[in-house]
Amino acid sequence: MRMQGKVALITGGASGMGAASARRLRQEGAEVVITDVQTELGRSVAEAAGLTFLRHDVSDADSWSSVMQQVAARFGRLDIVMNNAGIVGTGNIETITLPDWHRVMSVNLTGVMLGCQHAIAAMRRNPGGSGGSIINVSSIAGLAGMAIDAAYSSSKGGVRLLTKSVAVHCARNKLAIRCNSIHPGTIDTPILSPALDSAPDRAALHSFLSNLSPMGHMGTGDDIAAMVVFLASDESAYVTGAEMLVDGGLMAQVSGM
């Protein structure tokens, strides 16, 4: 029960890594609010796990204000924010359209910026004094370029450095608010479903993705949830501005060796 007495907000919490992290934080004693644009699925996940669901478009500043007002009214504090909502892009640098570029950036980067901004404002007002943990979900694509998806890589790279900026700002201003990024590798979540379903050979693509890491399998939402609990807890009190890889060793290897 490391999270007893704490309140957490997780965007993109209706499925995948967000839902797994929400369930784990709830098991550890936190009150957890999940938000998503997938209303029916979000409500189902929340009901099953004893969570609170709010519909929320992370790219919209007014939607953030509404969510934060509801969290404050119900719980009176906010200790953990996991900026997890994200979407994939639709092409490489030669094929992506400007509307698609803006769509990915609005969710994956602007949404995280707004999440950090609103989290800091809420955490400053916590009873007992300012404090909290902001956890931003980036990707291994935020550390190394992914040629097939220029917008996704760019947005996740932006999340990586935004996290460091937020961490240094909060530390220098003695806010007791930490900010770290998680960089998942290939994680078996619903975000992969469109690619798998459209592949000529689904089994072959699944095998390829599984064997990208030297561990020889994809990670799960629970693997990410374990890292979230660590970063949300007091056990990581001296960790801020860090890049936490959860990738089965994918980024540690030299290709072909």
Q: What single letter denotes the amino acid at residue 92?
A: N
Let me know if 30 is exposed, middle or buried by CB neighbors in 10 A (0-12, 13-18, 19+).
buried
3-class secondary-structure state, position 34? strand
Tokens representing residue 89 in the block: 């892009």
For 148-211, the DSSP string reads: T-HHHHHHHHHHHHHHHHHHHHHHHTT--EEEEEEEE-SB-SGGGHHHHHHSSSHHHHHHHHHT
Q: What single letter denotes the amino acid at residue 91?
A: G
Neighbours of 127 (CB within 10 A): 6
Nearest-angstrom CA–CA distance, 217 and 128: 44
DSSP state for residue 234 in the 8-state scheme: G
Of 53, 64, 101, 152, the active-site residue reads: 152
Dihedral sign for Cα 192, 156, 37, 13, please.
Answer: positive
238 is annotated as an active-site residue = no
Q: Would you say 109 and 102 are in contact if contact means Cβ atoms under 8 Å apart?
A: no
Neighbours of 161 (CB within 10 A): 12
Active site residue ranges: 152
